Amino acid sequence: MICRIETAIYEGILGKRIWIESDISNGLPSFNIVGLAGTSVKESHERVKSAIINSGFPYPRGRITINLFPANINKRGSHMDLPIAISLLSAEGAIDIKNLKDFAIFGELSLDGTVLPICGILPMIYGLSKNSVKKIIIPSENIEEAMLKDDIEIIPVSSLKECIDYLNGKPTAKSLYKKIIKDEDSIETIGTLDFKDVNGQIAAKRSACIAASGGHGLIMIGPPGCGKTMIAKRIPSIMPKMNIDEIIETTMIYSVAGKLNEDKKVIKERPFRMPYQGITTAGLIGGGLFPVPGEISLAHNGVLFLDEFCEFDRKVIEKIRKPIEDHEVILNRRGRTYSFPAKSTLIMATNPCPCGYRGDSKHRCKCSTSEIERYKKKLSGPILDRIDLQIYMERVEFNELTGREKQSMGSFEMKEIVLRAREFAKKRNQNTNNASLKNEEILKYCDFGKEEYEFIKKAYESFSLSPRSLMKILKVARTIADIEESKKVKIEHISEALNYRITSKAFA
């Protein structure tokens, strides 16, 4: 008898419905899987056989053929163990076959029949729900992640036997419908690292507020030990909590990357990713035969921090140009397209030259002109052009460092500013942050008067700005006006934004 069960696979973070068919016919015992199965699917034979026998069920005798379809999609992952076992047993008559068509099933099996957690459950559930599947059996350890999708009946099972009992009508497994995580459950990053520790550096802290308010990229250029890394690590503490849609998107990425575990079953906190300088292209933007997300996608909805930016391999860095503009990574493999979201706040830090003191008022730079030229080339022009905020930092004065002069602003106060600015921007009914505005939207939302137009025109001509630079300046000006809660973008806002773009003295 032939038995068919529904399950899914994921490509990128897109879940796709597939089916598993089993047929047991007379002949010498054999086990064949057809339908573009990957190694982990082919290896399921041994796991399924032991799990069935150790759970006390008869292992079917004869020629077993497992067909995975549609046949043109590559199938991989160990989550097909449980549906394969169920389809075999139902082909054998151990389960009432009528029940099966209502369900989609996922789960890896251990040799004793325990159902183990799997990767990519959330994208697969979303993919199936588009095809109006209403009941899904999943490993019980994946329940938190699966429950991010509501309107679908989820049945968590912890063993093959429990799954069969449920399908046979014995109510051992419990079905769940309700979303168990809501907006309020997301975690604030505040409390870990606080901006209170950063004394002085008022301009850098202001630009951190602007970056967090509008989602703008920020590069900090400055001498060693002036506090660049310190500031970057504290930026997540002033960003608002993630909403439920952001939690879902971020969790999907971590799920397909295999980065969810016992301690982190759902990503509720904005990510902060700080890849090291030796990272490869695949590590940074994603890659592999079956692509997995890279750091730029793992930072989605959070912060991607490239410290000591000039030490990264140029060829690797050039690859982030497109993703930071499109907020998406697209990878093509064997005729199929995989896409991963990549919308993060990009923060970069670097010294201005090899010795680190170029442009510093207290130290003499010891670098030769050719050394400086070589170093400057490392900071690729096209990348720099895509960064909205560029600041040059200097060492803090002694009185500021010891906190004797002024109380430094902490994450709590800075976050208030960010939240107010974001709230103000929301009133314009814009559905993206300022950094992602389209050109036509920028002019609409800035609401310039005649004087402002004249001012922008003069700046465009006298600084020979690129059209991209100009648009970025206007976006930053809009965010500064939001911080000041001003409906109109005024000359003072534009001139502050200009200050963040005109290449700093150290790089001139």
Binding site for ligand ATP (CB under 6 A): 197-201, 222, 224-230, 349, 351, 396, 401
Partner in contact with 97, chosen from Mg ion, ligand ATP, none, beta carbon below 5 to 8 Å by kind: none
- Tokens 């870990």 belong to residue: 192
| Secondary structure element (H or E) that encloses residue 103, with its range | strand 103-105
- Provide the Cα torsion 454, 455, 459, 461; round to 10°: 10
Partner in contact with 225, chosen from Mg ion, ligand ATP, none, beta carbon below 5 to 8 Å by kind: ligand ATP
Partner in contact with 503, chosen from ligand ATP, Mg ion, none, beta carbon below 5 to 8 Å by kind: none
**Site mask, Mg ion, residues 479-508, x = CB under 5 A?**
------------------------------
Which is closer to ligand ATP, CB of 24 or CB of 347? 347
Asked if 388 and 476 touch (Cβ cutoff 8 Å), the reply is: yes
Q: How far is the CB of 228 from ligand ATP (least distance, A)?
A: 3
Which amino acid, residue 458?
K
**Site mask, Mg ion, residues 223-252, x = CB under 5 A?**
------x-----------------------
Q: How far is the CB of 345 from ligand ATP (least distance, A)?
A: 18
Q: Both tokens of residue 174?
A: 């419990």
Which is closer to Mg ion, CB of 74 or CB of 229? 229
Which is closer to ligand ATP, CB of 240 or CB of 354? 354
Tell which positions 191-230 bind Mg ion, by CB under 5 A: 229
- Tokens 């796709």 belong to residue: 16
Which is closer to Mg ion, CB of 229 or CB of 281? 229
Using CB atoms within 10 A of its CB, is residue 347 exposed (0-12), middle (13-18) or buried (19+)? buried
Tell which positions 94-113 bind Mg ion, by CB under 5 A: none
CB atoms within 10 A of CB 242: 25
Which is closer to ligand ATP, CB of 340 or CB of 392? 392
Q: How far is the CB of 229 from Mg ion (least distance, A)?
A: 3
Find the residue with minimal CB distance to ligand ATP. Answer: 227
Partner in contact with 156, chosen from ligand ATP, Mg ion, none, beta carbon below 5 to 8 Å by kind: none
Among residues 228, 316, 215, the alpha carbon closest in space to that of 275 is found at 316
Q: How far is the CB of 305 from ligand ATP (least distance, A)?
A: 11
Q: How far is the CB of 382 from ligand ATP (least distance, A)?
A: 24
Which is closer to ligand ATP, CB of 55 or CB of 351? 351
Q: How far is the CB of 307 from ligand ATP (least distance, A)?
A: 7
Angle between helix 81-92 and 160-167 (nearest 10): 50
Asked if 460 and 493 touch (Cβ cutoff 8 Å), the reply is: no
Kindly determine how many residues on this chain lie close enough to bind Mg ion according to the rule CB under 5 A.
Answer: 1
Q: Which long-range contacts (CB under 8 A, 24 or more apart) does 447-451 make?
A: 447/487, 447/488, 447/489, 448/488, 448/489, 449/488, 451/491
DSSP string, 191-251: TSS-GGGS-S-HHHHHHHHHHHHHT--EEEE--TTSSHHHHHHHGGGGSPPP-HHHHHHHH
Please give the residue ranges that form the binding site for Mg ion (CB under 5 A): 229
